[in-house]
Amino acid sequence: MNIEDGDCSKPSLFELSKENLSSILEEAGHKPYRAGQILNWVYKRFAASFDEMTDLPAGLRDYLTTKVKIRSLTLLRKQEGGGDWAKKYLWGTKGRPLVESVLLKYKYGLTGCVSTQVGCPVGCAFCASRHLEYERGLSKAEIVEEFIAMCADEKARIGRMVFMGTGEPFLNYENVMAAIDTLCDPSGYDLSRRRITVSTVGIPEAMRAFAGDSRGVRLALSLHAATDDVRDSLIPLNRMYPVGQVVEALRDYALATGQRVTVEYMLLSGVNDRREDAKALAALVDGIDCLVNLIPWNPVPGLPWSRPGALEVRTFKEILERNRIKVTLRRSLGGTIEAACGQLRREMTEK
Ligand code: SF4
């Protein structure tokens, strides 16, 4: 697939609804029903240029090429995971790295993980993205394009989407919600809302707003510690929104939506994987309809933590289960490929 840099002066096709596109066609004297054909090419067959749309008249293809761009992002690098199966993509414009996306293959199918910001202002201690200077939030079109360009590369429909790449999704709330609406539009990609998960480090007011706006999209909280002293050292935003407030917002979300929520908990040896940490976590989420997802740390060069032993992981899990907390142990895909969002961009930026 040849992905060309988009012309900044033209609107992205991913900004346009079927109605917008129909109007553009009609104003130029073309049949508005062609909008459905075009969206089919882009969202179902992942066309990257109007030239590929062979059932459109040549004149219309030429006209659209001058008016609308399909691709804004260029694929700068692709990295495939080792024994497991994951692909990491680095996208940019004009040769300059911007964001990363990851495609993960689970037993139940493909999941596309997208970024929402160029750099991240949150600065979590365990995240490669903390080294990347924050520039801006991605537009709706850029977020949609990350997902569709992964489908195009894989030549397959991706059935699940997670907002777990670089950026805190709730700091780019409007564009994230608009991207979800676009991908779930039945006249386009028609992704199921229930197959989308937005992951946050915890911004209580945004989590409460999301309860009203999400309409079925799932919420995951990157908790990673059950006490403020440990969480302060991992996630700086915790000083503004302490554990208690964040977990209360999660409880409210689960009650308001009737949905089970996910609590992500990365296990770092000697930091948050002790018996007392497991007991504190069990007490914290008691009564919330949640699934705790334990993620043993994958060592990353330059970061100080090590992976807990199998016994520590099993003990932690058993303490949660004894307290009637639902818990899973995440299978690691692609080793470090998944662990360090922002790593590829950092490597390339530092060259
Ligand atoms: S983990 Fe997420 S919120 Fe934290 S710095 Fe990385 S991208 Fe930002």
Give the pLDDT confidence of 309-322 residue by residue, as tens digits. Answer: 999 999 999 999 99
CA–CA dist 153, 260 (Å, integer): 32
Q: Give the confidence band of 334 by pLDDT, cuts at 50, 70, 90.
A: very low
- Specify the CATH number of the domain 17-67: 1.10.150.530
Where is 243: in which H helix or E strand? helix 243-257
CA distance 64 to 283: 58
- As beta bridge partners, residue 221 has 200, 263
C-alpha dihedral (119, 121, 124, 126), degrees to nearest 10: 10
Between CA 250 and CA 348 the distance in angstroms is 37
Instruction: Locate the domains of the chain by residue range.
Output: 17-67, 74-350
Ligand 1 neighbour 167 (Cβ under 6 A)? yes
3-state DSSP assignment of residue 130: helix
To the nearest whole number, what is the mean pLDDT of the chain? 91
The closest residue, in CA terms, to atom 4 on ligand 1 is: 124
pTM of the predicted structure, to 2 decimals: 0.92
Pick the CATH number of 74-350 from 2.40.50.140, 3.30.1370.140, 3.20.20.70, 1.10.10.10: 3.20.20.70
Query: Above 50 in pLDDT, residue 338?
Result: no
341 is catalytic: yes
Evaluate: CB of 124 within 6 angstroms of ligand 1. Answer: yes
Q: Choose one of 101, 117, 122, 231 to mutate for the ligand 1 pocket test, by most ligand atoms within 8 angstroms of C-beta.
A: 122
For ligand 1, say whether the CB of 123 is within 6 Å of any of its atoms. Answer: yes
Q: Name the residue with tokens 């202002």.
A: 121
Ramachandran category for residue 287: left, alpha or beta (phi over 0 → left; psi -120 to 50 → alpha): left
Whether residue 151 lies in the annotated active site: no
**pLDDT tens, 96-141?**
889 999 999 888 899 999 999 999 999 999 887 777 789 999 999 9
**What six digits make up the tokens of 281?**
């976590």
* Any ligand 1 atom below 6 A from CB of 130: yes
3-state secondary structure string, 143-203? HHHHHHHHHHHHCCCCCEEEECCCCCHHHHHHHHHHHHHHHHCCCCCCCCHHHEEEEECCC
Amino acid at 287: G
- Measured in angstroms, how far is the CA atom of residue 166 from the centroid of ligand 1? 6
Same fold across 17-67 and 74-350: no
pLDDT score of 349 more than 70: no
| 220 Cβ inside 6 Å of ligand 1 | no
